Amino acid sequence: MSKQAIVIGSGIAGIATSIRLACQGFAVSVFEKNEYAGGKLSSFSMGDYRFDFGPSLFTMPHFVDELFELAGENPRDHFQYKRKEIGCKYYWEDGVRLNAYGDTDRFLKEVDDKLGVPKHQLQDYLARAEKKYNRTASIFLEQSLHKWQTYLNKTTLEGILHLFSYELDTTLHKVNIRRLKEPHLVQFYDRFATYNGSNPYQTPGMMTLIQHLEQHYGTFVPQKGMVDITNSLVALAKRKGVQFHYNAAVDEIIIEGKTAVGIQTNGTTHKADVVVSNMDVVPTYRHLMPAQKAPEKSLRQERSSSAVIFYWGVNRSFPDLDLHNIFFSEDYKAEFDTLFTDKTLAADPTVYVNITTKDVQGDAPAGKENWFVMINAPRDVGQDWDLLSKELRRRVLDKLNRNLKIKLEDCIEEEFVVTPPMIAEKTASFTGALYGAASNDRMAAFLRHPNFSRQIEGLYFCGGSVHPGGGIPLCLLSAKIVAELVNTGE
């Protein structure tokens, strides 16, 4: 008889974990409180417009392909995507425009032409970022930081020998100032801190490795939208025998002695040999195991940023915009001080506009576009989000109207607004933080909750709130780490 595994939550990490455990011979059941899978990586419709609810950036697609290959299938038979020629278009208030081309040579020329930064200067910056990644990926991303075995192999020891080169003692912003100098390019690369909900003026200089990942691997778009990552992997999981239970909020993780033996949901007990929580680690402890001693140091880490998102059905098209577009604030430091210190929205926010109709057919009627407009926000600490979002809407429209020379409010025919409390309610993300803990100090990577319980046997954790962090690639890696821990019985 197969061993039983239960996964709590069907975010991307939970789905990936279920596939990996099924491939290891487990009979896997996934319990999801919503009526659909995917968590943030889901979709919805308004009128004739379709929107991806959450993550809109797709990079490192080989981590998705790997799951199909692990199951003995050809990824291209089930999931299609293409690489973007332009990763993102950037707009500054002073009129500077920059296209982040996926081709490195073309991007180097763009930066030289538009910003006057010599190619060799940016090449050196990217080469240093690549070295950081190559030396640290196996330590920080691909295995548990919380097992002694991680530090007892040649690759890890070599990585530790180069510790001085990781720039842990300075901030991402200071590294960018020192190596790039040109203000637009500094702001361009400071933005990458937001990929894990952190502050570029606090997060360590090691985070330049993110820049390497996007430039090296590129930016992609699924043929059927981001939700197709979820849909194709759920279908794969089902082909491997995984059972999905929807509208099934878990009430308790059952602990006998010091071992997780199952869960309780809707008054029914389900036994298991392995329990994996894809739920945010804070509510996992506070709500599902309130009698267990919680790792307070991990749970009290500073939370990442959240977001306010405007979903707009726009009744015209904008040929100059692309899939990803950024409209920068004029004072980036003031923006992040407001987010992380004052815990409110910036007077002049950076605005991200994602328009999937640029690449995904049928997401809007002909000649119209679906706009996903996201603004970085602090986590929810009781702010008046109704008031804040209304004022934010005015500021965002002012910025977009100014840059695009349009009266955008006259073009909006469908609208839906999401705030941090709504994100928390919909996805069980503690305080609406999109990436769990922030990476705003040099020890943050070591302080994230591990992928296993130190006190409870048979209990594991995956997803953006635990090691190695938030975002689709890291969530997929967390699933891989959990599966390896389960396989080795650690």
DSSP letter, residue 47: T
pLDDT at 148: 43
The model's pTM is 0.93
- Which tokens in the block code for residue 188? 């361009």
- Which tokens in the block code for residue 240? 């491997």
Q: Which domain holds residue 153?
A: 103-218
pLDDT at 234: 98
pLDDT at 207: 77
Q: Collapse the DSSP code of 165 into the 3-class scheme (helix H, G, I; strand E, B; otherwise coil) and give the result.
A: helix
Query: Quick one: angle between helices 172-180 and 119-136, nearest 10?
Result: 150
Report the chain's mean pLDDT, rounded to a whole number. Answer: 92
Give the pLDDT confidence of 205-218 residue by residue, as tens digits. 777 777 777 888 89
Whether 339 and 359 have beta carbons less than 8 Å apart is answered as no
- Which tokens in the block code for residue 43? 């979709």
Q: Residue 297: give its domain's CATH number.
A: 3.50.50.60
**What is the total count of domains within the chain?**
3
d(CA 440, CA 143): 22
Give the pLDDT confidence of 15-32 residue by residue, as tens digits. 999 999 999 999 999 999
pLDDT at 139: 62
Give the pLDDT confidence of 216-266 residue by residue, as tens digits. 889 999 999 999 999 999 999 999 999 999 999 999 999 999 999 999 999
What DSSP letter does each residue of 281-330 carry, written as one string? HHHIIIII-TTSPP-HHHHTSPB--EEEEEEEEESS--TT--SEEEE--S
140 & 287 share domain: no
Asked if residue 164 has pLDDT above 60, the reply is no
DSSP letter, residue 378: P
Return the higher-pLDDT residue of 351 and 150.
351
DSSP letter, residue 369: E
Residue range 352-365: mean pLDDT, rounded: 97
Asked if residue 461 has pLDDT above 70, the reply is yes
Asked if residue 157 has pLDDT above 60, the reply is no
In a domain, 428, yes or no: no
In a domain, 365, yes or no: yes
Which of 189, 218, 247 represents a domain boundary (last residue)? 218
201 & 142 share domain: yes
108 & 212 share domain: yes
145 & 233 share domain: no
Asked if residue 169 has pLDDT above 90, the reply is no
Other CB atoms closer than 10 Å to residue 110's CB: what's the count? Answer: 17
Q: Are strands 97-101 and 86-91 parallel, antiparallel or unpaired?
A: antiparallel
pLDDT at 153: 54
In a domain, 430, yes or no: no
Cα dihedral sign, 197-198-204-210: positive
Which of 169, 187, 218 represents a domain boundary (last residue)? 218
DSSP letter, residue 219: -
In a domain, 482, yes or no: yes
Which of 331, 308, 189, 246 is closest to 38 using CA atoms?
Answer: 246
213 & 107 share domain: yes
pLDDT at 144: 52
pLDDT at 151: 45
Asked if residue 202 has pLDDT above 60, the reply is yes
- Which tokens in the block code for residue 238? 């089902």
349 & 397 share domain: yes
Residue range 196-203: mean pLDDT, rounded: 93
